[in-house]
Amino acid sequence: MTAVTLAAPGAALRYAPPIEAELDHLAATLGAVPALAERYPLRWLAVQLLEGDEQLLAEAESLGGPAVTAALAASRERLAPHYGEDLDVALVDQRYRFVHALAGQALTRPAAPPLTLSDRIDQVVTHRWLGIPIFLALMWVVFKITTDVTAPFVDWIDATLSGPVSGWVAALLSAAGLGGSWVEALLVDGVIAGVGGVLVFVPVLLALYFALALLEDSGYMARAAFVMDRLMHALGLHGKSFLPMIVGFGCSVPAIYATRTLDSRRDRILTGLLVPFMSCSARLPVYVLIAAIFFPAHAGLVIFALYLTGIAVAIVIGMLLRRTLFRKQPPAPFVLELPPYRLPTLRGVWRQMWERTAAFVRKATTIILATSIVVWLLLAVPVRGEGRFADTPVEQSAFAAVAGAAAPIFAPLGFGAWETSGALLTGFVAKEVVVSTLGQTYAVAAAEEEAVTPTTFGEDLLGIAGGLVSATGEALRALPGVVGITLEAPEEETAPEGLAAAVQAGFEASSGGHGALAALAFLVFVLLYTPCMTAVAAARHEFGSRWMWVSIVGQFVVAWLVALLVFQGGRLLGG
Amino acid sequence: MRELTIALAGNPNVGKSTVFNALTGLHQHVGNWPGKTVERKEGRLILGAHQITVVDLPGTYSLAARSLEEQIARDFIVRERPDAVVNVLDAANLERNLYLTAQLLEAEARLVLALNMADVAAARGLRLNPEALAAALGAPVVVMTASKGQGLAELKAALRDLVAASGRRAAAATLKEVAR
């Protein structure tokens, strides 16, 4: 390796003669201010002032007084005929020319630069026309994996929890002399139904985080940000904003913290306000449940459309915000490093899947357990009728009273029933609670109808193991469908039963016979409304109380308006 | 003996942290999450009789104070006036990296250029001409591959020369003061 030392005088960067003349003038004026001359190199300070550095301008004017202001104005005036409004651009441009010439001296490039594997992949993946279709195709694959491939495991966990596990708890309580008491009701209908209803989505999250980890670790995520830069600029955002946005598909909370990677406060806040419109994974359980009930044949398509709707709303809101609240602040330029592609390691991918899913489960067993119990208590306390504690009809409970009071707000959207408004209320605690609350409000009424065949512990274990094996088989058969190949004939639609039937009947009733449309409006509302309290707390931490309230109120209004558009618009179109 | 300060400046992902570790021997995590080096990192370097504080500045593409990182880097270079600035560059992306160099030059920093990742540049068929660069900038230029420990001795030697010259200048300045 070589080291070269030369004592030649620095070949300073020279600008065009008219600029140099003004730099000399300015440096002389600035040099007359001792406080400035002591603190800054004068020529450098003059360059910054001409380039329009507001912070230094304020400092120079406060220390140097009107003389500095006048000298700067005079210099700008004399330079205006040469460069017009674009003096700052001219300075940067001339600096780049200097750099280009310098690089030309210091570097000999090979006639035909050898392409690395990364370069060759990038030629396709970041291609002008192919880039965005490839990006969308990859997103499509991710969501097929999280819906179709995981579905058998979801069913398996659900069956295990609602069947054998609930049975064991009931048997244990009977042995302790508590059979049929409110304790059993609390454990089976509150704890197992609530937390269990969330745990069934662990396979969905594992799959989602698996896909995200692959995209991140391979280096594709940075390309996605690059490819999406043009779209991000349409939002008045930085291409880097796309990273938090993508993280937002997993969870809004880390996404809001990920806005720290952005350079300007304007970009951070604007991105932070738009992140919750990216449909987080906790909302996915709601989509999966409702879409499976109302649109069984097109569930994947409906869910994909919801994700796109979130993006579209973010685009519109972003443009509105840019022209209103953020009008005065221009966006920062886009610089993004594209790391070379790497093969993701199994260990790295597994660690991310595990840590993120474990964080979700921890949340499920603390916040959500508490909410489930509160909701169960509200359901257990009678406010009307003849019911006793833990033995009251749902429609006479305290929960129905609270939710019923809020229901009229949602009537124009087609889901003004207390069951759905109650679920939306608890959804503020965490979005996935919407599912467990729906499970409680609708299924509590239907629970008695199920006939239970007594089984032994051994039979239960065999049944659980057998269920896992067949779920794995089904998931493997669903894999080719991820890229659009269907090996099997589509399953015949089965009539929804239990919860599904109750939810369907509820939406039909509240919408005056437009159940599917109301369900769609409900899904759109869940997609867009006020983020969960954890995300709100993160927003407050990062951006302050004021922006937190903008997020809480603003998103509720946006969600209400868009859902109204879907329901009433759909009815006008004859849906 | 006067306490000397050297700053490390450069774009993100150019191996600046590796150079910092090699100079100071201080254990430090090397990562490339944006904003990772926002906090100020310091280490000690002994060069002959000199104790030198080495400050690792945040990785930036420019010195315009648009971001927190750029603000930190710029304020340090312009206001604290370190005795030398080691500008670490990715030799495989020289032109892009030289923009920061131009701004450092303009800020009247006393530069030492470290053209890092020379192995990657060589693999891409790039031929570096450090002599021409040194002549054009009037600053010492060291070619190195910090990840393999190559070029570190040369960097230290260049710094030692600079420190010696700075000592002579300081002495001359003191003499002038006294004479006055």
575 residues of chain A, pLDDT tens digit each: 444 443 334 457 889 999 999 999 999 999 999 999 988 999 999 999 999 888 899 999 999 889 999 999 999 999 999 888 888 889 999 999 999 999 998 888 877 766 778 888 888 888 878 888 888 788 777 767 766 777 788 788 878 887 888 888 888 888 888 777 788 878 877 777 667 766 766 787 788 778 878 887 788 877 887 777 777 776 677 766 776 787 787 777 767 776 766 767 788 898 899 999 998 878 888 898 899 889 988 888 999 899 999 989 998 898 888 888 777 666 555 566 677 787 888 888 888 888 877 876 766 566 667 767 787 788 788 887 777 777 777 677 888 888 889 999 999 999 988 888 988 988 877 787 788 778 777 765 444 444 456 677 788 888 888 888 888 888 888 777 666 554 444 443 333 457 788 888 889 988 888 889 999 999 999 999 988 877 787 788 778 889 989 998 999 999 999 999 999 999 998 75
CB contact under 8 A, B138 and A10: yes
Task: Measure Cα distances from A455 to A157, A459, A461 in Å.
Answer: 18, 6, 10
* A117 Cβ under 8 Å from any chain B Cβ: no
What is d(CA A423, CA A427) in angstroms, rounded to the nearest whole number? 6
- Output the CA angle A235-B35-A328, nearest 5 degrees: 35
Residue at token pair 């990038």: A122
Which positions in chain B touch A59 (Cβ < 8 Å)?
A: none
pLDDT of residue B129: 93
- What residue ranges do the domains of chain B occupy? 4-179
What is d(CA B166, CA B169) in angstroms, rounded to the nearest whole number? 5
Q: What is the mean pLDDT of residues B119-146?
A: 91
pLDDT of residue B1: 53
* A4 Cβ under 8 Å from any chain B Cβ: yes
Query: Which residue out of B99, B116, B144, B160 would a mutagenesis test of the A interface target, given it has the greatest number of A Cβ atoms within 10 Å?
Result: B99
A157-184 residues labelled b (16+ CB within 10 A) or e (exposed): bebbbbbbbbbebbeebeeeeeeeebeb
Which positions in chain A touch B35 (Cβ < 8 Å)?
A: 260-261
CB contact under 8 A, B140 and A4: yes
Which positions in chain A touch B79 (Cβ < 8 Å)?
A: 39-40
A4 beta partners: B141
Which positions in chain B touch A41 (Cβ < 8 Å)?
A: 78, 107-108
**Within a domain: residue A125?**
no
* B26 Cβ under 8 Å from any chain A Cβ: no
**Within a domain: residue A494?**
no
| DSSP code at position A390 | T
ipTM, two decimals, is: 0.88
* A334 Cβ under 8 Å from any chain B Cβ: no
Q: E strands within B91-179?
A: 111-116, 127-128, 141-143
pLDDT of residue A109: 80
End-to-end CA distance of chain A: 74
B50 three-class SS: strand
* A12 Cβ under 8 Å from any chain B Cβ: yes
Closest CA in chain A for residue B79: A39
Closest-CA distance, A249 to chain B, in angstroms, reads: 20
Of B35, B124, B157, the CB nearest to A261: B35
Residues A459/A167, Cβ–Cβ less than 8 Å: no
CB contact under 8 A, B79 and A39: yes
**CA-based nearest residue to B65, from B77, B54, B56:** B77
Q: What is the CATH number of the domain that holds A91?
A: 1.10.287.1770
* pLDDT tier at B99, thresholds 50, 70, 90: very high
Identify the burial level of A9 via C-beta atoms within 10 angstroms of its C-beta, where 0-12 means exposed, 13-18 middle and 19 or more buried. Answer: exposed
CB contact under 8 A, A53 and B64: yes
Residue at token pair 């291609």: A127
* A456 Cβ under 8 Å from any chain B Cβ: no
CATH superfamily of B4-179: P-loop containing nucleotide triphosphate hydrolases (3.40.50.300)
The pair of structure tokens assigned to A517 is 């449309």
Residue B41 parent element (H or E): strand B41-47
CB contact under 8 A, A3 and B98: no
Instruction: Determine the longest span between alpha carbons in chain B, in angstroms.
Output: 57
What is d(CA B48, CA A315) in angstroms, rounded to the nearest whole number? 60
The pair of structure tokens assigned to A367 is 């916040």
Of B66, B105, B133, the CB nearest to A13: B105
| CA B49 to centroid of chain Cα atoms | 20
Q: How many domains does chain A have?
A: 1
Of A9, A51, A95, the CB nearest to B102: A95
Of A47, A53, A337, the CB nearest to B13: A337
The pair of structure tokens assigned to A261 is 């990677």
What is d(CA B173, CA A44) in angstroms, rounded to the nearest whole number? 23
Query: Which residue out of A1, A23, A264, A267 would a mutagenesis test of the B interface target, given it has the greatest number of B Cβ atoms within 10 Å?
Result: A1
pLDDT of residue A50: 93
Please give the residue range of the domain that contains residue A69.
Answer: 17-106
| DSSP code at position B150 | B
Residue A152 parent element (H or E): helix A151-160
pLDDT of residue A492: 37
Q: How many CB pairs under 8 A join A and B?
A: 146
* B127 Cβ under 8 Å from any chain A Cβ: yes
Q: Which amino acid is at A15?
A: Y
Query: Which residue out of A36, A51, A102 would a mutagenesis test of the B interface target, given it has the greatest number of B Cβ atoms within 10 Å?
Result: A102
CB contact under 8 A, B34 and A102: no
